[in-house]
Amino acid sequence: MNALDRLITLFSKLPGIGKKSAGRIAYYILDSNPVLAGTLAKELTGLHQAIRRCTVCGGFTETDPCSVCADTSRDHSLICVIESAQDMRIIEDAREFPGVYHVLGGLIAPLEGISPANLSIDKLISRLGKGNVKELILALNPTVEGDTTALYLQKTLKDFPVEITRLASGMPVGGNIEYIDKLTLSRSFRGRVKV
Amino acid sequence: MNALDRLITLFSKLPGIGKKSAGRIAYYILDSNPVLAGTLAKELTGLHQAIRRCTVCGGFTETDPCSVCADTSRDHSLICVIESAQDMRIIEDAREFPGVYHVLGGLIAPLEGISPANLSIDKLISRLGKGNVKELILALNPTVEGDTTALYLQKTLKDFPVEITRLASGMPVGGNIEYIDKLTLSRSFRGRVKV
């Protein structure tokens, strides 16, 4: 296998990139100024040294604790529980949430061998143990795994004096009743709000 | 901008990768064993040193001339003219073509400032000048640019004793007449073959 084939194989292992896209990307890089390949290589080399896990929330950060956990202007009594560090970026981009985060590192999925012990739940409990936390928002995907994990957390944390909420599930903004699936429609009905 | 943001920005510049996919890929690499980032970095660093242009056909290769041009069992009287080096890979994968290639390095596109002088046409003429070439297959996209380039080559090369053909254009295998566009359908009629 030559250098180009090796690069294509590597790219095709990345999420969302098939064999054809991997080929297009590799040829694009080869066709471009070598500076592009060099810069990419440099960033990839330094990535794991530059970015680590925040010891408080588990998000990716260059400083520890991360800028969100270190920000005293944020509401530290409000913790948003998320599946992965990437979700933090997405929620931050929406500029809606004034609190801090807790990254679980996955969702309970017995079939994939992911049990509660694999998630960062102990750490969440120790954060709650310090008091001061008033509300836990479970921002987990409305899927079987997300629902299971939410239920598990609800049971496990029931003795803490903390309110546990979950993100509203229903029709996406701009969605069309005609095309919405039955489960989502049924959730939209159950979660209906007063106007 | 931190290391993660820089990597996401770089990825989002690659073809077919949007801002969201770039984020997913960067987080995937960060979540994976650092070996993945290291291997990718290594391949990217060595890419432009390992892969160069074949001085005969213009394709990407580790050796010069490339394995196709150096292969004496191939039909060197049959040259397939292609837009980019990547097309060579795609045609080779189909294992249909027994001849050799010539990479133009683009298609004539006046609006984008690509004139015949920007393409590797002189080199093609000098290859034809050596004689021995019986047929030139223009494997160019059936687009305005592809048609223009094919027409230009046909006119420019009309004095050479070489047959110039073009890939058949028509309905893709597995296609449906109902969903095919008018132009393709019209080409399918004009290019109809005896059964």
pLDDT tens string A117-129: 999 999 999 999 9
For residue A104, give its domain range. Answer: 53-166
Are residues A137 and A153 in contact, defined by beta-carbon separation less than 8 angstroms?
A: no
B40 plus B102 within the same structural domain: no
Q: Are residues B45 and B66 in the same domain?
A: no
If asked whether residues B95 and B146 sit together in one domain, one would say yes
Residue B68 shares a structural domain with residue B30: no
Cβ–Cβ gap B38/A45 under 8 Å: yes
**Residue B71 sits in the same domain as residue B149:** yes
**Cis ω on the peptide bond leading into residue B15 (within 30° of 0)?**
no
Q: What is the pLDDT of residue A171?
A: 83
The count of structural domains within chain A is 2
- Chain A: give the shortest CA distance to residue B104, in Å: 13
- Using CB atoms, which residue from A21, A37, A43 is nearest to B48? A37
A74-86 pLDDT, tens digit each: 999 999 999 999 9
Q: Give the chain A residue nearest B43 (alpha carbons).
A: A7
Q: Give B23→chain A minimum CA distance, Å.
A: 8
A83 and A131, same structural domain? yes
Cβ partners under 8 Å of residue A143, min gap 6:
A107
A10 interaction partners in chain B (CB closer than 8 Å): 36, 39-40, 43
> Residue B136 — φ and ψ, nearest 5°?
-115, 115
Average pLDDT over residues A153-177: 89
Tell me what the mean pLDDT of segment A137-154 comes to.
93
B90 and B71 share one domain: yes
pLDDT surpassing 80 at residue B195: no
Does B193 reside within a domain?
Answer: no
Same domain, A85 and A43: no
Q: For residue B176, with 0-12 CB atoms within 10 Å meaning exposed, 13-18 middle and 19 or more buried, which class applies?
A: exposed
In percent, how much of chain A has pLDDT > 70?
100
Residue B177 lies in a domain: no
CA distances (Å), A56 to each of A48, A101, A103, B3, B53, in order? 18, 9, 9, 20, 51
Q: Do residue A63 and residue A139 come from a single domain?
A: yes
B7–A47 CB contact, under 8 Å: yes
One DSSP character per residue, B74-93 reads: SEEEEEEEESSHHHHHHHHH
Residue A53 pairs in a beta bridge with A60
- Return the SS3 of B58: coil
Which of A105, A102, A52, A107 minimizes the C-alpha distance to A81?
A: A102
Residue A176 covered by a domain: no
Query: What does the pLDDT read at residue A75?
Result: 96
**Mind telling me how many Å the CA of A57 is from chain B's nearest CA?**
16
Residue A83 lies in a domain: yes
Q: Which of A76, A74, A52 is nearest to A64 (CA)?
A: A52
A21 CB neighbours in chain B (<8 A) are 15-17
Q: Please report the residues numbered 16 through 55 in chain B whose beta carbons come closer than 8 angstroms to any beta carbon of chain A.
A: 16-17, 21, 23-25, 27-31, 34, 36-48, 50-51
| Rg of chain A on CA atoms, in Å | 21
Please determine, for the modelled complex, whether the ipTM score is greater than 0.85.
no
CATH code for the domain in which residue A117 is found: 3.40.1360.10
Q: Are residues A83 and A110 in the same domain?
A: yes
Stronger pLDDT, A94 or B55, i.e. the higher one: B55
Q: Are residues B41 and B112 in the same domain?
A: no
Q: pLDDT by residue (tens digit) across B118-177?
A: 999 999 999 999 989 999 999 999 889 999 999 999 999 999 999 999 988 888 888 888
Contact A41 B41 (CB under 8 A): yes
Q: Would residue A193 count as lying in a domain?
A: no
Q: What is the pLDDT of residues A17-72, one digit of tens each?
A: 999 999 999 999 999 999 999 999 999 999 999 999 999 999 999 999 999 999 99
In terms of domains, do A71 and A138 share one? yes
Read off the CATH number of the domain in which B41 is found.
1.10.8.420
